[in-house]
Amino acid sequence: MALVCAPLVVTTVEEMERDMAKAKSLGADLVEIRLDFLHHFQPDIDLPRLISNRPLPVLVTFRPNWEGGQYQGDDSTRFSALRSAIELGAEYVDIELKVAEKFISTISEERPDNFKLIVSSHNYESTPSCEELSELVARIQAVGADIVKIATTAVDICDAARMIQVMVHCHAPMIGLVMSERGLMSRILSPKFGGYLTFGKLDAEKESAPGQPTITELLDIYNIRQIRADTKVLGLVAKPVKQSKSPILHNKCFKAVGFNGVYLPLLADDLAKFLDTYLSPDFTGFSCSLPHKVIAVGCCDEVDPIARSIGAVNTLIRRPADGKLVGYNTDYVGAISAIEDGIKGSSAKGDVVSPLAGRLIVVVGAGGAGKAVAYGAKEKGARVVVANRTYERAVSLANSVGGQALRLAELATFHPEEGMILANATSLGMYPNVDGTPIPKEALRFYNLVFDAVYAPKVTRLLREAQECGVTIVSGVEMFVRQAMGQFEHFTGMNAPESLMREIAMKYT
């Protein structure tokens, strides 16, 4: 089990003492005292105070600016402080590989029984090859490290795979982390692949390196204490991905039903490259979102007939029997059932085959979500109009469902009949660009119902303006929950806990 370490990156001893107590209350295993962040640091006074009063084991670091830290002085002052930390009983001290040999020569060969020396190397530009990382591990071990620490930077999410591979084969205790949002999986999966510890910041503002999750996220969302070597890895492959609530939803549901899996946000630039890199049976399934849903069809070994008809995949499953990647689409059921229930709720009509039958639905967007909504609406007997910024893509999708194509700008005056339905299947209005909307407010009066696939924020500008015009609205939260239920069942082989999913979605969206 990897330890969870909270870096303390405040500027006064008093703040560090408060943050140590906070780290303990949040569930951290140890704290990293970053001496280089302290203003007016007085080693003879501050170190005894911090170490003697520690509520948790401490890792003491005094990082110089040439290795990404704040300290700008000479090594002799730094070395003296780190030696004092060892003498005062610090459980760990971190020293940079570049000066490790020099530092080690100044400390006693007889180290305290409870003390471990971490020798570290940081690369803030890239992640080297597996061969170079392995050579770096050997160099760190050779200078006398008790624990190897290597932190690199992910330019692409596939960079994390190299760190994982080296960590798995390292015979010494190792901290292997890949910085930036694209390297997040290396931090969360540390216990799965044999990492000694991972860092979790106290809150959003207090990170010591790019891409650190919070302690609360590690413990309460990713359930890092339950991650083992046999834990299945799943996740949302998207760009952007930070705004998604899928990791919260799936991880809380996995924990509730006792499923041994962890669901990650996976910021991928190239879906095919990502899937070619993470071929291991450990990676058992993925959700697929913008901008990868259409490309995903061609990345699968097999595609469910409905997903192939739609031309978009939002769920990828690695079949255990043969390792083949199978693509499904749960978006269309999620969106269409939400729209149908919205129509039923706003109408006094009795049950019919589908309340969409014979209705005119305007689908905004011709990407993966737009394809799913258009396909589902056609299957339910609706007449489909597709509006898209790129008109040629609107024409292509409209032709595939026997519908009509519009340019996005034409929505302002499109009003062939009363009682139309509008479905936004673009990212317009999604956090952080919450002022976006696909259609002028004045044109919303032409519609009886407006559906928005965007669920972050829960009430988008489009929905707010539709509501102000007296139009029935259906939030993207409905589609989010319903498509997630289908994915959960593909991921786990269990029935989705619908009531729990709704509760989580309402709380976090």
Quick count: other Cβ atoms within 10 Å of Cβ 321? 5
Q: In 211-314, where do the E strands start and end?
A: 232-238, 261-267, 283-288, 302-303
β partners of residue 447:
420
Torsion 277-280-282-288 (CA) sign: positive
CA separation for the pair 247, 343 (Å, rounded): 30
Q: Is 458:478 a contact under the CB 8 Å cutoff? A: no
In the set 46, 94, 159, 331, the catalytic residue is: 331
CA separation for the pair 132, 111 (Å, rounded): 30
Q: Is 387:420 a contact under the CB 8 Å cutoff? A: no
Q: In 166-308, where do the E strands start and end?
A: 174-179, 197-199, 232-238, 261-267, 283-288, 302-303
Q: Is 38:14 a contact under the CB 8 Å cutoff? A: no
Taking alpha carbons only, the member of 393, 396, 374, 446 closest to residue 416 is 446
Q: Tell me if residue 331 is catalytic.
A: yes
In the set 293, 371, 378, 490, the catalytic residue is: 293
CA separation for the pair 353, 339 (Å, rounded): 14
In the set 22, 149, 206, 250, the catalytic residue is: 149
Q: Tell me if residue 98 is catalytic.
A: no
In the set 22, 122, 232, 245, the catalytic residue is: 122
Q: Which whole-number Å values give the CA distances from 132 to 21, 182, 184, 403, in the listed order?
A: 39, 20, 21, 56
Q: Which whole-number Å values give the CA distances from 471 to 132, 253, 388, 419, 465, in the listed order?
A: 61, 34, 22, 10, 9
Q: Is 76:48 a contact under the CB 8 Å cutoff? A: no
Q: What is the largest CA-CA distance in the chain?
A: 87
Quick count: other Cβ atoms within 10 Å of Cβ 439? 24
Active site residues: 122, 149, 293, 331
